[in-house]
Chain A
């Protein structure tokens, strides 16, 4: 059976940068519940990254992600001076110098990706959803999270994509292919939403209409989290769902605020934040004379 939920794994490096001239090389590894990212930063700037599915073994996932980010760069792991692990598997990054919570890393990463005027971050990850407030330095001032229920998470969207046999990358675009917006699906629980979606298809709804109803339900669900913490501008979305316009556009409508756009990949926020923390920590150690 085709696996429609399966999103593409990828890596990237900045062709214009030469890491050999960099004074400081740090890495951030974000081992999430569904996906893992590795980011390599040179002198506090993004140099290379990778994003892949988390395997059943966290240390392996961390190692693989880093190896893939290093691929074709000529850089070796020993060239990296400081590694910070983050995400749900952060304590299982065997080669990390330090582990930092993903909430702190997301805020730090968002500050870099979308600028220091960002005050509210919504991280829509694989198995949880977080609303974070931060200051102009990207320091966390408050947060709320849902990690109990798959509604409003990437995993929930994967289940629906699989049910409808729609590749997950196409969900957003297809969901706009409706003459008018339907009512959102009424079930919160993803298991129930699945049954509900089957019933709607039976009633003659198109896949697009079901997707529209599901994206809207997800947008409403996460908007509750945002309402509880309060949305302060600027507003920025990170995580895999940030790439799904079907949810993002509807969420913007529900809360009446547009999200800031960034040229960076939304899934990198955690790992990038971790690499930037690594940079700051390395600087501190250098100043203290602990390392050369």
Chain B
């Protein structure tokens, strides 16, 4: 049976079409003002990519903060469950899932079946989420890709005093004015967010393998910082890490049908 997983995130909507163990198509669109319309657009694009009709999809699973916008979904799962399912599907030995999205950071402990054992989320504050790195890259006037790259060139660790994203932006501006290099500032920012995410991971208990998902997983500067703050060598980043939630929703939708 073909199943679809739709992850309606704070910033983007991701769709994964799954046929048994095989991924047929992935699409991502920016979540516009009209969420339902953006969902429809992303879903149609995925169907076109896979070359299948809407009727060929047996079940649809929805997840993400805006999951209620997927009116045609039969299964609705939380982001935490979807992440765990998606991560174990891709990497069966994953036991800790770190998901850093636009507005949420999560540390999830899962078992071998992709069932959630425990989790911690930063729901109240943007300090441990992608919006934080995005604001800081903007303050430094570099692209997100450059932001990760230059961070690796720094070998100096400067503590950031501000926890709040709004305040950190002013702090970055003062660091620029005090002639701190962009490389060192980039690393300080990644270290700051990584230390917040690490605290969540420690709360649920760190167990290997650790898998990093969500859009921020593309950021190699953050990857380097999270390895350092967790004190581990190996953090798995799957291909297309931002689709793991959508994939998990598709897996759950399939399982619910059996």
With A127-B167, A149-B163, A155-B167 in contact, is A192–B177 under 8 Å at CB? no
Scan A175-200; emit 1 where CB is below 8 A from any B CB, else 0: 00000000000001111100100100
**Which of chain B's residues has its CB closest to A33's CB?**
B170
A56 at the interface (CB under 8 A from B): yes
CB atoms of B170 and A189 under 8 A apart = no
With A191-B131, A192-B103 in contact, is A56–B166 under 8 Å at CB? no
List residues of B (183-201) whose CB comes within 8 Å of A's CBs.
Answer: none
CB atoms of A150 and B103 under 8 A apart = no
Q: How far is the CA of A268 from the CA of B166 in the complex (A)?
A: 24
With A191-B103, A202-B33 in contact, is A148–B163 under 8 Å at CB? yes
A57 at the interface (CB under 8 A from B): yes
Category for how many chain B residues contact A: 20 to 34
A159 at the interface (CB under 8 A from B): yes
A270 at the interface (CB under 8 A from B): no
Q: Which residues of A contact B124 (CB under 8 A)?
A: 188-189
Shortest CB-to-CB span from B90 to chain A, Å, is: 29
CB atoms of A150 and B166 under 8 A apart = yes
CB atoms of A188 and B173 under 8 A apart = no
Q: How far is the CA of A166 from the CA of B54 in the complex (A)?
A: 45
CB atoms of B126 and A149 under 8 A apart = no
CB atoms of A150 and B177 under 8 A apart = no
Scan A158-169; emit 1 where CB is below 8 A from any B CB, else 0: 010000000000
Q: Which residues of A contact B33 (CB under 8 A)?
A: 198, 202
Q: Which residues of A contact B157 (CB under 8 A)?
A: none
CB atoms of A156 and B170 under 8 A apart = no
Shortest CB-to-CB span from B82 to chain A, Å, is: 21
Shortest CB-to-CB span from B174 to chain A, Å, is: 5
Q: Which residues of B contact A149 (CB under 8 A)?
A: 125, 163-164
Count of interface residues, chain A, beta-carbon cutoff 8 Å: 18
B165 at the interface (CB under 8 A from A): yes
B24 at the interface (CB under 8 A from A): no
Q: How far is the CA of A16 from the CA of B23 in the complex (A)?
A: 81
Q: Which residues of B contact A202 (CB under 8 A)?
A: 33-34
Q: Which residues of A contact B165 (CB under 8 A)?
A: 150, 189-191
CB atoms of B167 and A150 under 8 A apart = yes
CB atoms of B170 and A188 under 8 A apart = no
Q: Which residues of B contact A191 (CB under 8 A)?
A: 103, 125-126, 131-132, 135, 165-166
**Which of chain B's residues has its CB closest to A159's CB?**
B166
Shortest CB-to-CB span from B127 to chain A, Å, is: 8
Q: How far is the CA of A127 from the CA of B168 in the complex (A)?
A: 11
Q: Which residues of B contact A159 (CB under 8 A)?
A: 166
B10 at the interface (CB under 8 A from A): yes
**Which residue of B126, B173, B178 contacts A192 across the interface (Cβ within 8 Å)?**
B126
Shortest CB-to-CB span from B162 to chain A, Å, is: 8
Which residues of B come within 8 Å of A, CB atoms? 10, 33-34, 103, 124-127, 131-132, 135, 163-167, 170, 173-174, 176-178
Nearest 7 A-B pairs (CB), nearest first?
A56-B177, A191-B126, A150-B166, A189-B125, A202-B33, A149-B164, A150-B164
A56-B174, A150-B165 known; 5 other A-B pairs, CB under 8 Å?
A: A155-B166, A188-B125, A191-B166, A198-B33, A202-B33
